[in-house]
Amino acid sequence: MGAEDFTLDGRPVRLLSGALHYFRVAEGHWAHRLAMLRAMGLNCVETYVPWNLHEPSPGRFEDVAALGRFLDAVRDAGLRAIVRPGPYICAEWENGGLPHWLTGLVGRRVRTADPEYLAAVEAWFERLMAEVVPRQITAPAGPGHGAGGGPVLMVQVENEYGSYGSDQGYLRRLAALLRRLGVTVPLFTSDGPEDHMLTGGSVPGILATVNFGSGAREAFAALRRHRPSGPLMCMEFWCGWFGHWGVESPVREAADAAAALREILECGASVNLYMAHGGTNTGGWAGANRAGEDHLGALLPVVTSYDYDAPVDERGLPTEKFWRFREVLADYADQPLPEVPPPPPVLDRPVRIALPQWAPLGDVMTALGDEEVVAPMPPTFEELDLDRGVVRYRLDVPGPRGPYPLRVTGLRDRAVCSVDGQRRAVLDETDAVVEGVRGPAAVELWVESLGRVGYGPRLAEPKGITGGVLHERQYVHGVRARALRLTAVADVDAVARVPFREPGEERPEGPGEGLYRGWFTVSAVGDATLELPGWTRGFVLVNGHCLGRYWSVGPQRTLYVPGPLLRTGDNTVLVLELEGAGERELRLR
């Protein structure tokens, strides 16, 4: 890295990068998506690393090697790589990538020099850097890495920390930890182009970059007030935006985004498109935000699609933005851009998927749920060690007593409430009152987290019922809580224990919450779109892979089904419906 430029092999180089998260794209599609980035005119790819995906419980690591495989695919595609390992990533991901077991333990002490928090970070980074360090461009040549080492050019220290805090000691500790673990490529920080963000988030001696969607000259001028010299880079050029359930999806015009990209490059800066290709929030990993400029308002859950209005859409197809960006980037390329690769195969014919089998939620909980916990007050999701799924809270209102309001305080996020076996209400944070409940009464509250907050001062807040249940003004004590994990529903062997009701047996009455199962056959695999006519809210799993959440409030109406998740021949579908079932037939197109 020179005084004003990035350098590679002693020569100045401009990084033309694009964000592509390996964990949001089916591994069988990595090569295609990387080829799309190259065809757009990029020479580099950037990815976050979600800690909670890879360490679901303390010391239990799951497929951290996926990052290594992705970096190898990046090298094979002829691209370089920027790695942003966190520990916090935001990314509209569940809890900003922080594990629920850690935020439940340390709460507001996350992202500080707190010893308990840093000990967990160190253990995680020791495992994670084993995938990064051998793949640095500075690494010695070795098997699988070629003559020039690996593809990794830079590694980030934390993420947009200036939006959150000002613990400079914490940032220096992270930088020192990365160096101690063998990171030799340049380190960098990235923050918004505002003085308080750059003051709180940058570290002396470490490259500072800025994130913005427009106004490149003003943003770089702000950076220069803090860093008079050094390479200029927009680490997140927001060329699109993400969507929330119940809110119309944002769209940015291609011509406007292309003009903003050209302005960045005219400033002599490097750039990372966020996102170049967004992908999908599979597995129920979509996070949430809080409304308002202070990020303290109503919960805004992120939709399953992370299409992001990106130049390469969720299905891997070029959009108008792709072609406009390709025109701009071609002016800065060292050689003619490669041809655009053909799209992945699609399903050859529409398929109707019958769902003949059904089990009510209570039976599913009995077969797949954790052991029931009895407590004076409702335990939170964190206290139940639950990351994604649903909790059934049961309690008894004593009696005889009159018809008082039943209030759920500290509800996060949505609860289906029944009294004496009859549904009475669907509650949320803004309306968590059931009127006219007489005692004695048996109450059930089925609570689902719609995603933990990933940005702002309410990061690390707990989920479930975080207060209590009041009848009139009196707490109802003696709560039985039981968790149903999404991972249990994805476990093929575990689902075999569910007592499904066959065709001709008792059909669900009322809303029909429960687990539905069906099968379909394809002669050749390919990408597809799943339609769920009339279904309300829940999750779909295909061959044990959770496609993500569906919800009738929109704006997302269908789910993307990547071809690599399908099998030639027989395939299995599960629908976990939490509010109200629709037609007993799904449509795959």
What is the token pair recorded at 65?
């090697």
Residue 79 in tokens: 């691209």
Looking at the DSSP bridge assignments, the partners of residue 312 are 277, 318
pLDDT of 540 strictly over 50: yes
The two three-digit tokens of residue 355, written as one number? 């769902």
Q: Where in the chain is the domain with CATH 2.60.120.260?
A: 351-358+488-588, 377-477
**What's the CATH number of domain 6-330, 3.40.190.120, 3.40.50.980, 3.40.50.620, 3.20.20.80?**
3.20.20.80
Provide the 10 A C-beta neighbour count for residue 215: 13
Residue 148: band (very low, low, confident or very high) from pLDDT cuts 50, 70, 90: low
* Residue type for position 434: V
Q: Where in the chain is the domain with CATH 3.20.20.80?
A: 6-330
- On whether the CB atoms of residues 414 and 430 are closer than 8 A, the answer is no
Task: Report the run of H or E that residue 442 belongs to, with start and end.
Answer: strand 433-448
Q: Is 585 a catalytic residue?
A: no
The structure tokens listed for 132 are 């990064």
- Which residue of the set 46, 92, 94, 236 is catalytic? 236
Identify whether the C-beta of residue 393 lies closer than 8 Å to the C-beta of residue 417.
no
For residue 493, whether the previous peptide bond is cis, meaning omega lies within 30 degrees of 0, is no
Kindly report the average pLDDT of the chain as a whole number.
96
Mean per-residue pLDDT for 283-298?
97
pLDDT tier, 503 (very low <50, low <70, confident <90, very high otherwise)? confident
Q: Residue 180 CB: number of other CB atoms within 10 A?
A: 12
Asked if residue 139 has pLDDT above 80, the reply is: yes
- Does CATH place domain 351-358+488-588 in 3.30.230.10? no
**CB-facing half-sphere around the CA of 97: CA atoms within 13 A:** 22
Q: Kind of pairing, strands 411-412 and 351-354?
A: unpaired
- Read off the amino acid at residue 190: S
Whether the per-residue pLDDT at 237 is higher than 70: the answer is yes
- Please identify which residue in the block is written with the tokens 């009127």: 435
Q: What is this structure's pTM? A: 0.97
Burial class (CB in 10 A: 0-12, 13-18, 19+), 241: middle
Asked if 160 is an active-site residue, the reply is: yes
Reading the block at residue 474, the tokens are 């009196």
What's the pLDDT tens digit per position in 334-368? 899 999 999 999 999 999 999 999 999 999 999 99
DSSP letter (8 states) at residue 26: -
- Which of 55, 160, 513, 579 is catalytic? The answer is 160
Task: Quote the pLDDT of residue 142.
Answer: 59
CATH number among 2.60.120.260, 3.60.10.10, 3.40.50.720, 3.40.50.300, domain 377-477: 2.60.120.260
Both tokens assigned to 490:
């994805």
Of the listed ranges 261-265, 307-311, 501-505, 567-571, the least confidently predicted one is: 501-505
Q: How many CB atoms lie within 10 A of CB 172?
A: 16
